[in-house]
Amino acid sequence: MCLPPTSACPVLKLMGRLRRLWPASLLGRLTLVMVAGVLVTQVAASAIWASQLRAKSRVEAESSAQYVAHSAAGAIRFFRSLPPAYRMLIIQQLREMGGTRFFVNFNHAYVPVSQIRGYPLADSVIATVGATLKADLPHSPGFQLAFSWPDKLVVAEHDVRLNDLPDSWVQHVLLLQPDPAPILVIQTEIEPGNWLYMAALMPNPYFLSSNDPFTWDRLTPQALSLAVVLVLCLLVVRSITRPLAALSDAAAAFGQGQDEETRPLPETGSREFINTARAFSAMRERIHRYIEDRERLFISISHDLRTPITRLKLRSELLDDEALRNEFEEDLDELDMMVKGALQCVKDSDIHENPAEIKLDAMVGRLVRSAQLAGHVVAWQPEGLTVRAKPLALKRALGNLLDNALFYGQRAEIRAYAAPGTVTIAVRDHGPGVPDDAFASLFDPYVRLAHGREQNDGGMGLGLGIARGIIEAQGGELILENHPEGGLNAMIRLPA
């Protein structure tokens, strides 16, 4: 329950979203962790470097601002000391000579300047220049300071712009090529109705861009280095997880009885994986030998027991006591059935055949027709589905389920349908169903319910166990449940 006063629910929701984003595969997890680590490290390093760059740029800009301000103060004193009639003559001579620090002009009033906005470093430089000028010229009436771009800079009255001036006046003073740089404008009133206009570049004209750590020329090397590191991380992760994927595929194929189609695991990669591959190969060989020994053992048991059982049956026929002879024959029949049941359990759950594409309509149709010829009622509707499995093994598993349904439920219904990634074959009977506490033991050998013993006294309780072993060996599962409308519903679920 979510309580409004607390913040637990948003935290739980956030954790749930993060859990859904967390990859399920080892490749995805290692890739995400390594990529996230590299990105966090790169961002942290870039943030530290950007902070240091801004601090360094700020110190250099303030030092340059003080230098420019002292030069401007000297120029203001010089022009203030000149008679008004000589000022324009001196300015004209300076323009013809070139090479001066400032572009100088006189106006009858303050000239509005389009200021640069959004640059904290520019505001800091203006503040430093203003403070230095006030310290050098304490009796001046005041200063109008601003930074402006060259294409918007007004240098004289009547909206005379920088681009309107002859190149010889500004080419040695204000740098316009190759890239425009911000121009510092200082205006102060020398006497009433006479304003001194000075414009100059900073010692580092591109100090605003040098302060920005996220320019393309700086981001490109960082992006390239990050891309190289990420590619190397992905290659390393892939080299680690590829052998594990091969091991997983080999284990899955071995568990589904398809080990004869699997190549031996390559003993390449890290030392840990080589040891794991060798251990898995040794285990696989031991299991192969065990299965072969088990088959030979049961074949020899069958061969050795059938002869004495047959001999005992012949000898029991010679007994004169009919009651004793019948008891002997019942015991021998029971022993013979136990041997056959054990052999059937081994052979039916270990069928050596290659998987193939199976058309369910044809396979189930043959089983249904055989049951109907024997007088049973079986409902089946073809669906046109196919699965990849071992044909004979799947047919035996379906036959066991159908036999159980007909033995214990009189009539059966078979239905096949597809879902994303799976194909399900459902065999339903119309019997009494199974008690809930009995489902856990239904697959155990020789376990039979009371209803089953009444309907089929010759069974041994091996059919469900054999069917489940066959289905699980092919990567599927056998699910038993009571049908809502009555009877038992056995569902074979195979990979599509």
5 upstream amide cis, omega within 30 of 0:
no
The total of structural domains in the chain comes to 3
Same structural domain, 485 and 441: yes
Same structural domain, 343 and 368: no
Q: Is the pLDDT of residue 48 over 60?
A: yes
Strand partners, 450: none
The single-letter code of the amino acid at 335 is: L
Burial pattern 186-211, b for ≥16 Cβ within 10 A else e, equals: bbbbbeeeebbbbbbbbeebebbebb
Report helix angle 463-473 to 391-409, nearest 10: 150
Same structural domain, 309 and 174: no
Same structural domain, 128 and 174: yes
Same structural domain, 382 and 458: yes
CATH number at residue 296: 1.10.287.130
Same structural domain, 77 and 173: yes
Within-domain flag for 403: yes
Within-domain flag for 263: no
Within-domain flag for 194: yes
- Can you give the pLDDT at residue 253? 74
The region of weakest confidence among 67-76, 275-284, 335-344, 376-385 is 335-344
Same structural domain, 362 and 335: no
| pTM of the model as a whole | 0.45
- The structure tokens listed for 83 are 């008679």
Among the candidates 309, 328, 347, a domain finishes at 347
Same structural domain, 331 and 400: no
pLDDT tens for 92-138 read 887 777 657 788 888 888 999 888 888 888 888 999 999 999 999 98
Same structural domain, 341 and 417: no
Same structural domain, 276 and 316: yes
pLDDT confidence bin for 291, thresholds 50/70/90: confident
Within-domain flag for 465: yes
Q: What is the DSSP letter of 381?
A: -
Same structural domain, 138 and 118: yes
- Can you give the pLDDT at residue 156? 87
Among the candidates 194, 210, 226, a domain finishes at 210
Q: Where are the beta strands (DSSP E) in 79-179?
A: 103-107, 144-148, 154-156, 160-161
| Structure-token match 């961002």, residue found | 43
- Cα–Cα distance between 236 and 31 in angstroms, integer? 9
Q: Is the pLDDT of residue 380 over 80?
A: yes
Within-domain flag for 10: no
| Arithmetic mean of pLDDT, 57-64 | 87
Give the angle 199-204-207 at the CA atoms, nearest 5°. 95
- Can you give the pLDDT at residue 443? 73
Give the angle 97-103-107 at the CA atoms, nearest 5°. 120
Within-domain flag for 384: yes
CA-based nearest residue to 381, from 426, 427, 414, 428: 414
Among the candidates 347, 364, 381, a domain finishes at 347
Same structural domain, 72 and 182: yes
CATH number at residue 381: 3.30.565.10
Residue 364 sits in which domain range?
354-495
Strand partners, 358: 387
